[in-house]
Structure 1
């Protein structure tokens, strides 16, 4: 099997997190190649970046509306893409343990959208940016939406960090957001505004979808998904018409109680019977 065929095979068999990572890497390599060949012919080596990055001017968005999303697949350098994709790999795979892969892509795209809007607002409102020109690239806004979304749903979930030990997810998220807030007046202030925009979307989506009624955020995500439905976890199974209403209600109460326990203390605190019950429900 050739190298290209091996990459194609890995892409097809990978989950949505791995697919997004492959797409980001492919775009990064393409940008490097185009910049290199453009430079050899004494052309504008940054034309690709200018065409797909998000400019700080509202008028530019009118002529290049796709940039409100495409900037989330561009990166300024190797270190930039490396740290973003490492974060996406770990956070994204944790996210799809509890939610669907379609929900993850919705978080990524809509977090990118909200981040872009926050960036545009900051560049055109605050005096700090007057007389300055900039553009926005990076997947951080989409990643922030995923990170804050899963942290809002499972705030007490514990991650084991080397040399530190077990740390609750909301503690890590608080540090993540605090760093962005502290950087609002720095060199990459526009980028930090975008991160906060993505984070705000992640929080609002999960918070609004905690109720089982259809919310406005579900209507927004219908742009990217074919069906309108509230946020749900992968443990929930569709109701079967062959069961009585009483049994269905009791089963749903058991699922809700277990999921509430997971959100407060983490999956590892479940008893063996509770884990087996979730497993059986997930296979129905």
Structure 2
């Protein structure tokens, strides 16, 4: 029932986004909006938006196929926990990798769906998994997991397409990790395939954080980056902060009048006005 409710919410929110571009822009994942404006709700809301009916249908069909086994095995509450935590995990990894790419944005439930799929793989690594484009060909789930992680790592490093590989990888790892925390016996029973899936991904994440230059991942704000870019980045953050302060003061004036400002606020407004002139 939780899976069906999530599908319904995805359909309704996505449909609203299809019709209302302002709504879509307000709730999509956006690096600048999250980093500079602290609009953290986008870490959740972006996963309920999609760019097209095809995008939505593919994600919801995948969610429907894999949700039943996970929800039935762990229960609805734990299934919902895996879904929500996978959303956060996929978007945090995306934010980490695109930390300095302010224009980067994304939408879609792929990260959360990957979390559900890899929770199922952790619990049932021997189940057979097929492909939409090859309906009569299937492989053990753990082999699919290894190939999926390898493809995601290649996609992140190569930047050769417009797919959110970062979200896929982040959601997959968090979903698998949550399933193992909820049902630790699964690791004892299936430790070999789980390690084959997770070790390459963990090594890759370590390199992203500690050795980003080796992977040509240059978006995480790192102390080894040039001073010129650091100063420019700092200036942009200060500019946004200054504008937010001006907006707050102007909003206060419009509601209560200029005399409602404190002496310090009046001085702040004058200082900002002089710097902008």
TM range (shorter): 0.5 to 0.7
Contact 1:58 1:120 in 2 (8 A): no
**1:178 Cα deviation from its structure 2 partner:** 2.7
Could you say which residue in structure 1 is the equivalent of 2:273? none
> Counterpart in 2 of 1:151?
121
Query: Aligned match of 2:167 in 181, 194, 198?
Result: 194
2:18 aligns to what SS in structure 1? helix
How far 1:177 sits from its partner (Å)? 2.4
Q: Deviations over 1:34-58 (max 9, x none)?
A: 2xxxxxxxxxxx3212210111227
Q: CA deviation at 1:189?
A: 6.2
Q: Is the contact between residue 55 and residue 61 of structure 1 (CA under 8 Å) also seen in structure 2?
A: no
Aligned to 2:53: 78
Structure index of larger Rg: 2
CA distance in structure 2 between the aligned counterparts of 1:54 and 1:33, rounded to whole angstroms: 18
Contact 1:76-1:138 at 8 Å conserved across structures:
yes
Aligned residues of 1:52 and 1:67 also touching (Cα < 8 A): yes
How far residue 73 of structure 1 moved from its aligned partner, in angstroms, is 0.2
Q: Does 1:135 align with 2:121?
A: no
Partner of 1:204: 177
Structure 1: 5+ residue runs without aligned partners?
Answer: 1-14, 35-45, 213-230, 232-255, 265-284
How many residues are paired up? Answer: 186
Question: Unaligned stretches of 5+ in structure 2?
Answer: 194-277
Q: Matched residues in 2 for 1:148 and 1:73: separation?
A: 19
Residue 181 (structure 1) aligns with: 153
Match of 2:94 among 101, 107, 119: 119
Tell me which protein shows more helix as a share of its residues.
Answer: 2
What is the CA-CA distance between 1:175 and the residue it aligns to? Answer: 2.8
Q: Is the 8 A contact 1:136 1:190 kept in 2?
A: no
CA distance in 1, matches of 2:129, 2:114: 17
Q: CA deviation at 1:195?
A: 1.1
Kept after mapping to 2: 8 A contact 1:57/1:120 = no
Give the TM-score taking structure 2 as reference length.
0.60
The 1:49/1:33 distance shift into structure 2, 3 A limit, reads: closer
